[in-house]
């Protein structure tokens, strides 16, 4: 449904312009992704507001969004599958945040996730243009820095510097 809306909008905007077919497809893909993400974000905000975890969700959403921009990611084919996966993902992040996980366990998780990020980052979907080799190294480094920053913030929450 959102793809049809995106197509109609792009075709109406394209009336007086002469874009190539590939450019039109890219515009439709981009607008569809934007609208999908916007509606998904609104639904998630409402759910986490209802659950009383809005502030924590916003923090997790910002970190996850920055990490995804840097490292890329996989895409699910259907909107509701994507939404349910996102909901499960953010609930899992919040559960991990509130669980009494030992520092050793959390450090082990950080090491595992760091290795995965270094090996797989950046993941590009077929609609994104290829990422140059030098940019891949930068993406890997930025993703690793972000994971370490999150770990630092997590350890501050568990053992705050300021009482």
Cα–Cα–Cα angle for 91, 93, 97, nearest 5°? 115
Number of domains composing the chain? 2
Q: Which pLDDT score, from 0 to 100, does residue 126 have? A: 58
Residues 79 and 31 in one domain: no
Place of tokens 């009482």: 163
Of the residues 51, 71, 87, which one is the last residue of a structural domain? 51
Per-residue tokens: 93: 């992040």
Residues 94 and 142 in one domain: yes
Residues 116 and 140 in one domain: yes
Q: Which pLDDT score, from 0 to 100, does residue 76 have? A: 73
Residues 133 and 147 in one domain: yes
Q: Which pLDDT score, from 0 to 100, does residue 92 have? A: 85
Residues 57 and 117 in one domain: yes
How much is the pTM?
Answer: 0.68
Residues 25 and 71 in one domain: no
Q: Which pLDDT score, from 0 to 100, does residue 45 have? A: 94
Residues 92 and 151 in one domain: yes
Q: Which pLDDT score, from 0 to 100, does residue 50 have? A: 94
Read off φ and ψ for residue 15, nearest 5 degrees.
-55, -45
Dmax over Cα atoms in the chain, in whole Å?
63
Give the residue numbers spanning the domain of 96.
53-163
> Taking the chain (163 residues) in consecutive chunks of 10 residues, what is each chunk's mean pLDDT?
68 68 76 84 94 88 81 74 88 78 80 81 62 71 83 67 41
Residues 24 and 59 in one domain: no
CA distance 125 to 3: 18
């Amino acid at each position: 449904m959102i793809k049809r809306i995106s197509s109609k909008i792009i075709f109406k905007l394209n009336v007086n312009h002469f874009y190539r077919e590939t450019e039109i497809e890219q515009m439709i893909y981009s607008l569809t992704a934007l609208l999908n993400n916007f509606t998904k974000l609104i639904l998630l905000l409402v759910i986490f507001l209802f659950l009383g975890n809005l502030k924590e969700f916003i923090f997790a959403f910002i970190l996850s969004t920055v990490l995804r921009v840097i490292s890329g990611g996989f895409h699910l084919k259907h909107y509701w599958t994507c939404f349910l996966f996102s909901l499960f993902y953010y609930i899992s992040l919040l559960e991990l945040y509130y669980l009494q996980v030992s520092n050793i366990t959390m450090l082990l998780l950080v090491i595992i996730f760091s290795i995965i990020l270094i090996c797989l980052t950046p993941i590009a979907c077929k609609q994104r243009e290829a990422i140059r080799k030098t940019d891949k190294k930068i993406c890997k480094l930025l993703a690793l820095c972000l994971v370490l920053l999150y770990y630092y913030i997590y350890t501050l929450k568990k053992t705050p510097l300021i009482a």
